[in-house]
Structure 1
């Protein structure tokens, strides 16, 4: 009996005098005390817990999109490098990214700071590059895209497509001339394959031509959607040889006569990326600037296979950024007197997002393992691109949904992820083309026209 009286007194102490006065205006305190007196010890303890819980700030779990702890597989050195990239993106890029995205401009002031990270050409051996793993290269791409997919695309063009073309298809002299300076971002590169009328059909339908003459190679035609090209120092141009019909690659310098770039405006996605329409008019390129080991589209495809895996990782980063921003928002946004993260339907959306994200992370982790082991084939990279870009679309859509009307405002970041996911979905091979590459592998039949 004594314990019960003590519990009742403790219960009353949990409510201060001012609260009692307010309560007495709404309910009959005599009836409440009568009801309390009839409670057993367990009921009283439950009531005490209910009253005191409201006065304590609930400690929430950390926001972390790596639900299966995949990052724990990284070595200590790689983990330090990952966190260094994350810190750079959160401190240097996050505060400025929405402003530049809205203005359709590139923040040139970040290039020198970006170079200091020493991550360009991460997997290449020599030329100032780290000679690191494809796994860590993927993690870097995801970390950058987690804050902004535009900056990740800029970096992917520089480190992957442009440097990769020279690393895979260039002569020793070309590698020595360009790669060390590109690694330090003292030379910015671009990659010109896509054309105004030729996207998915690049393997057999390039209209940009090249012809060998006494004065060098003469290039004519156009390239479209070429990232970095409005300010790049060099652009890798792929053209069809009029003499043998094979695709060849060239290092075209920005000062080359006959080389002109017009900025593409009015984009709804990746607005920080400066895409250009390149026009080549009797543009003469010396033999010394022809990629010496690029003699057919098969050589071009080697570069694309390597970078397609990076695009899958980029999709993972974009999806993770959207998920983590949405989760943070739902824990702070209140409706009906409590955070919307406590509602069943919101939690269902968040779990679906996390499920897709986790599946993507485990897929690209295995993909990079295969790449490091030398087992990667076109169909493996294509499957990752198909799945990850498709699931990213789902995740960013649900992220916008749980944020309601605020989901379309740049200040909450998810609107930018939502728009940028559309570009990731299409570039480096559309879903349909990559699906046909996988389909050919599993059926033995080619469905390409």
Structure 2
């Protein structure tokens, strides 16, 4: 009888707690904080907000919690404290997230995938000032000229680890390391500037990545990844661009989004806005923009592959086409660069090496620079420098020296002096110098 009662109590306990909260992870980003609850089984949940102070309360039905709150890593500023509270009914579990400011949560469950089990995801839109990417100081451009802007996209991030190597190294860390190195090289080049789509370990929606590039008026989007297959044998780098089938599908989507067509770059948006909604003209201009973008993408990828072949093994010697969401922008040439196979044990070790990461970043940078030196966009500093015998007029500003001006334009001090008949290195504020083309 006693044994039967014990079994019944155990059964009742198991029924009451059909699920278990196993852990909590927080992924802060510049404009969103993602909270992930790791669950033993698919969660049944409810939530509501409180104010004065701001709090998010999450109730998990038939769940017990075994979380060490002091061990939760949180580098963001929105969530100030996490604690449990008295549940609304026996057998349930209540979590309280104390917030710095009000936020409208988006809460949804995720099924098991990869190394992750069942999860409950909470997205809290919030402008986290501590997470804002530190963009380099903009180099002063001569009047009427602009910098060439390159958007560098580190694949995956945060809750999305990307591919995982044999030694459990994650693609998201490799892509961020290479992207940072590439951005640094770009920012050191006179007339070029990099914009990172993510600067830390957090997830950025695939649509948001091209939006970040568009808002920065980027001339090119480079998405950095590491390849993976079930077989550990394949090795080498490759470069991918948008397939024609995916391009046609994206074109149909843009035709339906009339309110976004004016956001297109390169003057296409302005032209479309003047067509009075004529679908045939809009389609024509979008087609021309996409064709030009894909043609430029192919040409740039050939330059990058040529440079990468000098320092790393190539898996594909020609640009490949694929249906990839991050490359779908109709107005910005976009490439996805597979730095190597993280699924290959040898390349996994290489991809973690700082020297190898720098080699890849340098090769990609050299390929981009090689292309734009031959095909500089109109109105850029690079175009002015590339014009045969061209000279740019520069007015000396306060704090500038001849060496600073020379570095900005990528020419030597002696060339500037010779071009302007200067007998010394001294220049004065307001003095106009002719900068020779490189």
Larger Rg: 1
TM bin, normalised by shorter chain, reads under 0.3
- More strand by percentage: 2
- More helix by percentage: 1
TM-score after normalising by structure 2: 0.22
TM-score after normalising by structure 1: 0.21
